[in-house]
Structure 1
Amino acid sequence: MPYIHQFGIVACIEKDKEYIHYEPEKYDCISVDGDLIDELSSKDFGKKIDNLKTFAHSTNRPYNNLSYFGITLIPPSSHAQFLNIVREANDDYKSEQLEELMKKIAEAIKEDKWLIHFGA
């Protein structure tokens, strides 16, 4: 069975909340195949995503990259960088799922909201 990653928008981030429950429906998440996320973590993209400022499960836990098997909170300050990484990857892979992810990131930028990522 293929593994997937889910990305959604958090309407209002709770600063001290522990985001520990798998709730992709709550955040209107889109799905991205694990193989595509693997590609973001490899080659030249991996170096870029390793510098993506995020948080693991809580705004009290600074992190870099996506929490592959956990929950990642992506602040608005990191959206432009994340969008550029996904756009570059999509130039190589031409994926509808990466297109949808770019739309989700753009929506978060427009609304100035945090993204949430549920790992595989």
Structure 2
Amino acid sequence: MAKHEFGIIDSIEKNRWYSEYEPVKYNCVSVSDDLIEELITKYIEELMAIKTYFQVTTQPGTGLDYCGVTLIPPESLKQFRGVIIKANSHYQSQELKLLIENISNAINNNKYLIHFGI
């Protein structure tokens, strides 16, 4: 089953391309692709309102890069966590609970979250 991985970047490097798949390096939590697909379908407008970057901080985007690497900056994490909390109230998923914890840790430490799409 395909998975999406979410981890915390300890120290963001401003012009570095985060294009290598390194879930262990960022202590990622996994969320099944089926769950992410449902989340995107149901919460597309809210997700697309979240400011992110695609692979490098010089490429602004919105939402998640489904098949690539997304960098979610500290200023967007509360908004992202809100969407995940709302989704988890519907799905009651252990995967989403772990993701909420990971996002909360990133918020508390003012860190970027990295998302590896499928």
TM-score range with shorter-chain normalisation?
over 0.9
Give ranges in structure 2 of 5+ residues lacking alignment.
none
Q: Which amino acid aligns with 1:110?
A: N
- Equivalent residue number for residue 75 of structure 1: 73
Determine the C-alpha separation between the residues in 2 that align with 1:97 and 1:26: 19
Deviation at 1:39, TM superposition (A): 1.6
Q: Which 4+ residue blocks in structure 1 deviate beyond 4 angstroms?
A: none
Deviation at 1:22, TM superposition (A): 0.4
Counterpart check, 1:34 vs 2:33: yes
Deviation at 1:50, TM superposition (A): 1.0
Counterpart check, 1:50 vs 2:45: no
Q: Which amino acid aligns with 2:13?
A: E
- Equivalent residue number for residue 112 of structure 2: 114
TM-score for both structures, normalised by structure 2: 0.98
Count of aligned residue pairs for this structure pair: 118
The secondary structure found in structure 1 opposite 2:8 is strand
Deviation at 1:52, TM superposition (A): 1.0
Give ranges in structure 1 of 5+ residues lacking alignment.
none
Q: What CA RMSD, in Å, does the superposition of the two structures yield over aligned residues?
A: 0.6
Deviation at 1:19, TM superposition (A): 0.7
